[in-house]
Structure 1
Amino acid sequence: MKILNFGSLNIDKVYSVPHFVSAGETLSSTNYEEFPGGKGLNQSIALAKAGAEVYHTGKIGKDGLFLKDILSESNVNIDWIEETGTTTGHAIIQVSSSGENCILLFGGANKEITIDQINDVLVNFSQDDLLLLQNEINDLEYIVEKAHKKGLKIALNPSPINETITKLGFSKIDYLILNEIEAKAITGENMNDKIFQRLLSLNKQLKIVLTLGTEGVIYKDSVQEHRQPSYKVDAVDTTAAGDTFLGYFLSQISQHTDIKKSLQIAAKAASIAVTRKGAASSIPTWQEVIETI
C-alpha cells in the first residue's frame, strides 16, 4: 500500500522560553533554533522511518528547497512537491522549560495548492492506497471528494482545528486521528464516551484514534476498542509527539499489523520523540523503537 501525504511543509523557528508569553508581556528567549517542520513533513518522515512507502506532495517557495532534501534523505518520495510558492510556510514555536509548546503558524505556500496540482497528483494513486491529510493546506474538501471518488482510503488529522474541519463531511473519512481539543470542537462533547458516540454517528465505518497526552490513547471503531497507556519519560520537547505517533500508527496499519500492536509501537515512538528537541529531527528510527519495545 502506498501512502500519499498531501501535507504542509514548514520551517520551524523555535524559541526556548521560561514560560509562554502572556498578553502585553515582553520575554527574552534563552535560545533560538531552526528546524524543518510542518505537520505534513513531520508525518511523512515518521511514516518513512516506520517503514511505509510514502509520497509527499505540497508546495514550497524557493526559501524551502532544503525541505525536499530532508524528506528525500528520509526515503520519502518528493516527485510531486511544487516549488512555485511565494514564501514557504513557517511556524514560530515557544518551548517552555517544562517541555510544553505553543505554535503560531503562517501558511505561506501551503495555502497556495491549486486544483490542477491536486488532480495531477491523485491520478497516480488508486483504491489500494491511503491518503493522509492535515489542516495546514487549502482545498481539503476538494481533495477529500476527489480521493473518495477514486476509492482511496483517507486518514485525517484535523489539526489545527477550525471551521474548515467542523464543516467537513466525515462520511468519506476512514481514519480520524485527533486529540481531546479537536474532538471536543468537532462533537461539542466533553466526555470520551460521548465523543466516540457522536463521531460514529457521523460515519459508522470510522476508525477513531483519540490521543490523550500523558493519559495515552484510545482507539475505537464500530466493533472494537483498545486503550494504550503512554510510556513515562522525561519530556524535553513535545512538538512532534502527535506526528510521530500518527506516522508510526498508519505505517503499521498499512503493513496489516493489528490495532493493539500498532498502538503500542506508535506510543513507544512518540515517547522517544519527546525526549529530543525539534520536530522532524526528533523522530526515532524503526530500529530505535523496536529495540525498546
Structure 2
Amino acid sequence: MKILNFGSLNIDKVYAVEEIVKGGETIDSVSFSESVGGKGLNQSIAVAKAGGNIMYAGCVGKDGEILLQALKDNNVDTSLIKTVETASGQAIIQVDKHGQNCIILFHGANYEVDKAYIDEAMQDFAQGDILILQNEISNIDYIIEVAKAKQMKIYLNPSPINENLNKYNMQAIDGIFVNEHEGAYLADKEKVEDILDSLASKYPELEIILTFGDKGAYYRHKDINIFQPAYKVDAVDTTAAGDTFTGYFIALRQQGKSIEESLQKASKASSITVSRKGASISIPKIAEVD
C-alpha cells in the first residue's frame, strides 16, 4: 500500500508581528524568516516523520530547489515532482505574539498541474493505495476522478475554502480533515455536533475528522464517535498544526494502528508542533510522540 500526496509546494515568508495587521493599517514586523511550506508539503513531512512511506506529486518553479531539498531531507520521495517555468507558490504568513497566524497564498506553479501530468504521475498507483489532497492546486476534480477509477482511498483537506470545492465529487472522498471554520462552511452549521451530523447525513460513507484547535478533535464514521482532547501546551506558532495532525493520523492508520491510538498520537504530535516556531521544521518525529 502506497501513499501519494498530490499537493502544493510553497516558499513561506513569515513575519512575526505583535498583532495581525488590520485593514488600512501599516505595522512594523518584529522579525522575518523564509522557509518551506504548503499544506501538502507539511502533511507529507508529517507522514514521513510518523514512519510512513510517501511519494509527492506537484509542480515547482526553477526557484524550487529549496522545496525539493526539504522533502528529500525528510525522506519524502520527490521523483514525481515536475519543474515548470512559473515561479513556485508562496505563502505570506503573519504570526502574532499569541502564536495565531493569518496566511495569503500565491498559487504560482501549484496551478500548473494539468491533466497530462496527473495521468503520468498517477499511472503506477492502484486499488488500496492512499491519496492525500488539499485545495491548493489546479485540477483537483480530475485527480479525484482518476483516483476513484483506480479505487484509491482518498483523503481531502478542503483548505483553503473557495468556490472550487463545488466542483469536487464529494461522494468519491473516503475521508475528510476539516477545522472548525472549514467544517462550518461545508455543513452550513456552527456547533460541533451540528457540523458532524450534517456532514454525516450528506455523506454517510465519509470518515470525518474535525479538529477544533486547543479544544481537541472529533472523529465520526457511521456509528463510531470519538472525541480526542487536545494536549495543553503554550502555543508559539500554529501554522502547521492541522497538517501535522493529518499526516500523523494517515500514517498511523496505514501502519494498522487503531483509530483511538492514531487520534491520540496525532493530537500529541500537533501539540508539539505548535510549541515550536516554523512550519515543517516544527513537526516532531515519532520518537518524540511515543
TM-score clears 0.5: yes
Letter in 2 for 1:178: V
SS in 2 for 1:171: helix
Query: In the comparison of the two structures, how many residue pairs are matched?
Result: 290
Structure 1, unpaired ranges of 5+: none
After TM superposition, give the deviation of residue 255 of structure 1 in Å: 1.0
Structure 1 equivalent of residue 262 of structure 2: 262
Structure 2 equivalent of residue 229 of structure 1: 229
Structure 1 equivalent of residue 79 of structure 2: 79
The answer to whether the Cα contact below 8 Å between 1:171 and 1:202 also exists between their aligned partners in 2 is no
In 1, Cα distance between equivalents of 2:218 and 2:53: 26
In 1, Cα distance between equivalents of 2:177 and 2:39: 13
Bigger mean CA deviation after superposition, 7-16 or 60-69? 60-69
In 2, Cα distance between equivalents of 1:70 and 1:62: 15
The answer to whether the Cα contact below 8 Å between 2:3 and 2:55 also exists between their aligned partners in 1 is yes
Letter in 1 for 2:101: N
After TM superposition, give the deviation of residue 164 of structure 1 in Å: 1.1
SS in 2 for 1:41: helix
Instruction: Please tell me whether residue 125 in structure 1 is matched to residue 139 in structure 2.
Output: no
After TM superposition, give the deviation of residue 274 of structure 1 in Å: 0.6
In 2, Cα distance between equivalents of 1:203 and 1:187: 11
Structure 2 equivalent of residue 27 of structure 1: 27
After TM superposition, give the deviation of residue 73 of structure 1 in Å: 1.2
| Mapping 1:55-134, distance limit 5 Å | 55-134=55-134
The answer to whether the Cα contact below 8 Å between 1:2 and 1:52 also exists between their aligned partners in 2 is no
SS in 1 for 2:28: coil
After TM superposition, give the deviation of residue 99 of structure 1 in Å: 0.6
After TM superposition, give the deviation of residue 193 of structure 1 in Å: 2.2
In 2, Cα distance between equivalents of 1:69 and 1:193: 42
Structure 2 equivalent of residue 159 of structure 1: 159
Instruction: Please tell me whether residue 2 in structure 1 is matched to residue 2 in structure 2.
Output: yes
Identity of aligned residues (%): 50
TM-score (norm 1): 0.97
After TM superposition, give the deviation of residue 190 of structure 1 in Å: 1.4
Structure 2 equivalent of residue 137 of structure 1: 137
Letter in 1 for 2:66: F
After TM superposition, give the deviation of residue 252 of structure 1 in Å: 0.7
In 2, Cα distance between equivalents of 1:124 and 1:163: 31
The answer to whether the Cα contact below 8 Å between 1:65 and 1:83 also exists between their aligned partners in 2 is no
In 1, Cα distance between equivalents of 2:246 and 2:183: 16
In 2, Cα distance between equivalents of 1:276 and 1:5: 25
After TM superposition, give the deviation of residue 166 of structure 1 in Å: 3.8
Instruction: Please tell me whether residue 181 in structure 1 is matched to residue 187 in structure 2.
Output: no
After TM superposition, give the deviation of residue 194 of structure 1 in Å: 2.2
In 1, Cα distance between equivalents of 2:224 and 2:163: 30
Structure 2 equivalent of residue 193 of structure 1: 193
In 2, Cα distance between equivalents of 1:161 and 1:10: 18
After TM superposition, give the deviation of residue 196 of structure 1 in Å: 1.8
In 2, Cα distance between equivalents of 1:89 and 1:256: 34
> Over aligned residue pairs, what C-alpha RMSD do you find?
0.9
SS in 1 for 2:80: strand
The answer to whether the Cα contact below 8 Å between 1:111 and 1:138 also exists between their aligned partners in 2 is yes
After TM superposition, give the deviation of residue 35 of structure 1 in Å: 0.7
The answer to whether the Cα contact below 8 Å between 1:13 and 1:33 also exists between their aligned partners in 2 is yes
TM-score (norm 2): 0.98
The answer to whether the Cα contact below 8 Å between 2:144 and 2:168 also exists between their aligned partners in 1 is no
After TM superposition, give the deviation of residue 168 of structure 1 in Å: 2.2
Structure 2 equivalent of residue 40 of structure 1: 40
In 1, Cα distance between equivalents of 2:236 and 2:191: 29
| Mapping 1:247-286, distance limit 5 Å | 247-286=247-286
The answer to whether the Cα contact below 8 Å between 1:46 and 1:243 also exists between their aligned partners in 2 is yes
The answer to whether the Cα contact below 8 Å between 1:113 and 1:138 also exists between their aligned partners in 2 is yes
After TM superposition, give the deviation of residue 85 of structure 1 in Å: 3.9
Letter in 1 for 2:45: I
After TM superposition, give the deviation of residue 66 of structure 1 in Å: 1.7
1:83-104, Cα deviation, whole Å (9 max, x unpaired): 1141000000000011100000
Structure 2 equivalent of residue 245 of structure 1: 245
Bigger mean CA deviation after superposition, 132-141 or 190-199? 190-199
1:134-170, Cα deviation, whole Å (9 max, x unpaired): 0000111111011001100000000001111244221
1:178-224, Cα deviation, whole Å (9 max, x unpaired): 01111111111112222222212232211000000010000001020
After TM superposition, give the deviation of residue 288 of structure 1 in Å: 1.0
1:230-262, Cα deviation, whole Å (9 max, x unpaired): 000011100000000110001011112110110
